[in-house]
A and B are shown apart, each in its own frame.
Chain A
Amino acid sequence: MTAMNMAGFPILTTILMTTIVGLLVIIFIPPEKTKLIKQVSLASASTGLALCLWLYHAYDFHKGGLQFVERVLWVKSLGIYWFNGIDGINLPMMLLTSVVLFTAVWTMWELENRVKEFYALVFLLVAGVYGVFMSMDLFWIFVWYDVSLFPMYPLIAIWGGTRKEYGAMKLTLYLLAGSAFILPAILFLWAKAGGHTFDLFMLQKIGFSLFDQKVAFLMLYLGFGILAAVWPFHTWSPVGHVAAPTAVSMIHAGVLMKLGAYGVLRIGMMLCPQGAVYWSHLMALLGTIGIIYGALVGLAQTDLKYVIGYSSVSHMGLVGLGLATMSVNGINGAVFQMFAHGIMTALFFSSVGFIYDRTHTKIIPELGGLSKTMPIASAFFIFAALAGIGVPLMASFWAELLVLTAAVKVFPVAGILACVGMILSALFMLRVVQRTFYGDKNPKWEHIPDISRFLAVPRVVLMSCILFFGLFPKVMLDVIQSTVIPFVTRF
């Protein structure tokens, strides 16, 4: 079955509907039937995954460009379209979202507290994420963006852990502050273009003046940058991770942070290419600071989730640096890194979640010697740590290679500093691994059984994802590059 056969079928809306239908069905299930709720959630998430996999398979990267387009005029007077499409940049993001949702739902199988509300909110959140990624209409992107932000507050404040109210509040305020930059920027561009269309591609054809581009891009960069945990707007992210329950951390770090980088790329760099070039030094600077700073602060953390949170800051810095190069390799690497980091960090949080569920602590000095009692659960974390270090034959290695190659070429100093960041990341990942999993058998955890086969499934799915794209980077890069090559000609 090729894309042509399916041309008439609104596959993207269908993917979006899997989450919304899942949400509606869950709402009508009595809250005490937790098993059924979980089964419905898993079924809906799996449908999404299957559809995204099919989408990935059916996307024709030889042809490139926007495919599976659905475009219906919605509000004529304002120029709002129900406009969805897939290209090489959002296709990996769609796949990422579906994989992370699927594994997050499965990871939370042991949830007992307010199951119904939890899964309903998760599906609402992910509906927003799918929406942002697939939509090609600025209005809808913003709407879906806010849909994805609001469920975070209750999800963290109700099911969270350490300092949950503080974390939830901080996260929400930060992200809303981001929206406060994004909305004016979007309206500004819309108004400058004559106020009759929100269609991204029509807006792209209008050459905004250089000054307008500079202003709009800066606002978009700051607004979306907050979500991508760009230094110095990153502190909400580790705090939020620590406070959030496992699945929310997975979705948050795995997917939500990517929305920020995606927004910068899709809206900022697409509509304001000259503005992006103007600010590229700032982006490279903040990205590089993020890489080094995140790794160094990560070295001092004693909470497992804080460590991962700061590693995310570091890895997202790499995405920023890649985007800043405005070159094919840099953006290829950045998008690849978004995908690779999403999967890797989901694996991280998923394994920490298991450890926390069993030991009720994620303070590193209290742990130690876990490899003896739960070798398989530990192996998952160690695997993720190796991916985080950038060990070859894992997806993130290729992303790093591409970003650093581009960075050394365009910003030599930043590129070299980012390479030095590789040493730091090795140091802090291995430090955590050593203190948490190595060492003598810890009598406190001796009674804890290892992870069950059932609960190992989502972790294995994530691991195989990392390995698959590490061994066959072509599968991802051909897709990404089909869109990025025409994209960079505008800079």
Chain B
Amino acid sequence: MGALFRDPVLFATVLGTNLPFLSMAVILLFTRSKPFVSSRISVCSIAVSAVCAVSLLVRLFSAPALQYQTLWFSSDKLNITFGYYLDPLSLLMLTIVGIIACLVQIYSLGYMAGDPGYSRYYAFQSLFAWAMMNMVIAGSMLQLFIFWEMVGLASYFLIGFYYEKWSASQAGKKAFVMNRVGDVGFFLGLILLLIAFGNLGIPELNHAAVTHGLPQGLLTVSSLLIFCGVIGKSAQFPLLTWLPDAMEGPTPVSALLHSATMVAAGVYMFSRIFPFFSASPDTMAVALAIGTVTMLLSSTMAMVTYDLKQVWAYSTVSQLGYMVMALASGGYVAGVFHLTTHAGFKALLFLTSGIFIHEFHTNDMRIIGKKGGRKLKIPMVCMAIGALALSGVFPFSGFFSKEAILTVLASQPSKIWYAAGLFGAVLTAYYSFRLIFHILLPKGGIEEAHHEEHGASSHEHEEGHHGYIFWTMAVPVMILAGVSLVLGFTEHTLEHFLMRSIQVPGELVAPAAHAVSVAAHVAAGGAHHAHEAGSPLLTILGVSAGLLGIAIAWFEYGRKGASRNGFLSYFPAIWKLFDCRWFLDIFYRKGLDTLVYAGLTSLFTKNDRRVIDGGIDGICVFTEGSGRLFSFLQSGMLQFNLLLMVLGAGAAVLYFVI
């Protein structure tokens, strides 16, 4: 306890990460019926957490990585520790999580105003922030897994927040179960490491992988299993369908889940034990393929939907695919940098969409456009900034990170990944601007009257566009837009900062100098390519991919006399394929129904009823029946008994004689 107060860093860490839990407890136990108090408690605590995170980042900016740990419990030879690991990566992520969570909670003050579940909402938001922050600074993989699961739990509650809606509770359940599928792989990977290696400390694991302290077979199997966790959490290829459904949650929740937290957790975990993953070329190859497939598949899905949030959801999946591609091809800094910039502009996109949805009570971009979405100037401009950043247009943040990723991909021996990356960039720009043009330049112009009528009749708190509600929503959005403008220019600072986190494992665990150099050399190999980013050809290609996408969108939706249908509408089959998410959902549903519900479950239930119970009941019936039979013998009729006796004696005599 004493150390906690004597060490300001530890104090800030513990306070910052656990304050949200405290606020959740207070809200659930005491202020459930006082929404105003609950929301302020939650916002204040997350603000303090964000301040703690930022001050930690500043204070430890040039300090070596810090590790605190204590024994949680031990069983046999397993020593489970609880601890914090503060290195550049975790400090950066902690800051991102703190700031985004804080902005989202402030935004929610307006967005969720008047909701009957206001207190509950803030309790779960706090739970979420607590879980996420603790996951980020976890000192061991087991601790990371624990809070990883807590993040999943919190997101289950948040996605299913409107639990009276069947689809919402269904989406929450789906998210949890699909994550579980990935987590079982993750868990098995950890168990395998626990058995074979005996230590799940993050620096220890990275160090062992880099210095060949782990046999290659074990490394490949366990890293593949652990990668299953990334697939589940970051919605990668086979398990990606839960994420678009997760849009059932309130929009700020989507913003939080899709930018800096939940889904970013998978990518964060990947980068957290990046040296460990990169020591297994097979795993990296699998991850690269999965990332690419995910990126392309979800981009195509985003091209056909009219739902505002769905577009950004698919786009999140595809951007996560980008990050996985970057990491899997060795681009540690590029991946983490894209994670950072994406957190900013994706939160921005969701939060601005939230303003539109809050205003027009629909998710359909065509209707929003018609009702005069562009009249909301601040959100419109901010959304355009977000879309530009997403499409990778200079000088927005996405430009820098996407360039970094494409440079890393270009350094791969096979150019197919680079080509896929470029193609993905075209698609990204296309679907983002398809949405922007739908709102900005709606088909058939704006229907003035309709909007007026609507605005007057609906919500009670729509007191003009510039009241309290509007500003609590607009200010966070404007801050995020500003961030998206400037964040890109911090690339070099961030790169130097992050490169230290790769070298840390060596310094921390083994003071031996060669270990340090090996760690730095092997694990950061890819990152150096990013540093060399300068080939003008690559930049030109990258930028023109984005511009090409925007141009196609302009041609189809923007220019005067455009058809506004999209070229895909000429291919109904492909449209249907994209619209039905490549039939993945239908496949899972069918599989689950036939295999589990109609197959095993009903088979086993029948077995219980008929075979086991039937057998036992049969024995009972038999016992009862034979009892009746024998009771018949005990009838008390003397002559009958005498007859039996004589017959029996006769039989015995016969037996002995013969």
Contacts and interface: CB of A to CB of B under 8 A. Distances in A.
Interface in B595-625: 596-597, 600-602, 604-605, 608, 612-613, 616, 620
B176 interface: yes
Q: How large is the interface on A (under 10, 10 to 19, 20 to 34, 35 or more residues)?
A: 35 or more
A440 B149 CA distance: 28
Interface stretch (B189-197, B452-460, B539-547): B189-197
Contact of B605 (A170, A300, A409, A430): A300
B187 interface: yes
Interface in B191-222: 191-192, 194-195
A202 interface: no
A408 B191 contact: yes
A478 B73 contact: yes
A297 B608 contact: yes
Interface stretch (B106-114, B166-174, B573-581): B166-174
A404 interface: yes
B554 interface: no
B226 to A, nearest CB: 14
A477 interface: yes
A235 B76 CA distance: 35
B184 interface: yes
Nearest to A440: B164
B604 A474 contact: no
Interface string B129-155: 000000000000000011101100100
B180 interface: yes
Interface in A278-337: 293, 296-297, 299-300, 327-329, 332-333
Contacts of B195: 405, 408-409
B419 interface: no
Nearest to A421: B184
A80 B275 CA distance: 64
A477 B73 contact: yes
Contact of B169 (A173, A328, A397, A438): A438
A299 B146 contact: no
A409 B77 CA distance: 13
A402 B74 CA distance: 10
Given A392-B150, A405-B194, A438 B75 contact: no
A405 B78 contact: yes
B181 interface: yes
Residue with the highest number of chain A CB atoms closer than 10 Å, among B71, B183, B192, B604: B604
Contact of B184 (A297, A332, A369, A423): A423
A299 B169 contact: no
B169 A426 contact: no
A213 interface: no
B76 A299 contact: no
B571 interface: no
A441 interface: yes
Contacts of A328: 75-76
Q: How large is the interface on B (under 10, 10 to 19, 20 to 34, 35 or more residues)?
A: 35 or more
A473 interface: yes
Contacts of A174: 616
A216 B550 CA distance: 78
A398 B150 CA distance: 14
A299 B596 contact: yes
A441 B164 CA distance: 7
A408 B183 CA distance: 16
Contacts of B170: 434
A481 B601 CA distance: 37
B632 interface: no
B497 interface: no
A341 B166 CA distance: 30
Contacts of B194: 405
A299 B177 CA distance: 14
Contact of B75 (A332, A369, A422, A440): A332
Contacts of A232: 612
Contacts of A235: 608, 612-613, 616
B188 interface: yes
Contacts of B177: 423, 426-427, 430
B149 A392 contact: yes
Residue with the highest number of chain B CB atoms closer than 10 Å, among A297, A439, A473: A297
Given A300-B605, A419-B188, A439 B75 contact: no
A481 B76 contact: yes
Nearest to A376: B32
Nearest to B602: A300
Nearest to B152: A391
A391 B148 CA distance: 10
Nearest to A424: B596
Contact of B180 (A332, A397, A422): A422
B149 to A, nearest CB: 5
B556 to A, nearest CB: 41
B188 A416 contact: yes
A430 B176 contact: yes
Nearest to A289: B604
A170 to B, nearest CB: 8
A351 interface: no
B158 to A, nearest CB: 14
Contacts of B601: 296-297, 299-300
Interface in A360-387: 369, 371-372, 386
Contacts of A485: 76
A426 B72 contact: no
A392 B145 contact: yes
A440 B192 CA distance: 44
B582 interface: no
B163 interface: yes
B146 A439 contact: no
Contact of A408 (B74, B156, B192): B192
A371 B149 CA distance: 24
Nearest to B173: A430
B153 A423 contact: no
B75 A329 contact: yes
B132 to A, nearest CB: 14
A420 B184 contact: yes
Contacts of A173: 620
B166 A296 contact: no
B35 interface: no
Given A296-B596, A405-B191, A332 B76 contact: yes
A402 B75 contact: yes
A478 B145 CA distance: 23
Interface in A389-430: 391-393, 397-398, 402, 404-405, 408-409, 415-416, 419-420, 422-424, 426-427, 430
A444 B607 CA distance: 35
A431 B173 contact: yes
Given A296-B604, A430-B176, A423 B191 contact: no
B191 A404 contact: yes
Contacts of B169: 434, 438-439
A380 to B, nearest CB: 13
Given A369-B164, A478-B73, 19 more contacts: A170-B616, A300-B605, A329-B76, A391-B153, A415-B191, A419-B187, A422-B187, A423-B177, A430-B177, A434-B170, A438-B163, A438-B166, A439-B166, A439-B169, A474-B71, A474-B74, A477-B73, A481-B75, A481-B76
5 contacts: A391-B153, A437-B163, A474-B72, A474-B74, A477-B75
Give 10 closest A-B pairs by Cβ, nearest first: A474-B73, A328-B76, A392-B146, A438-B169, A438-B163, A430-B173, A300-B601, A426-B180, A300-B605, A440-B164
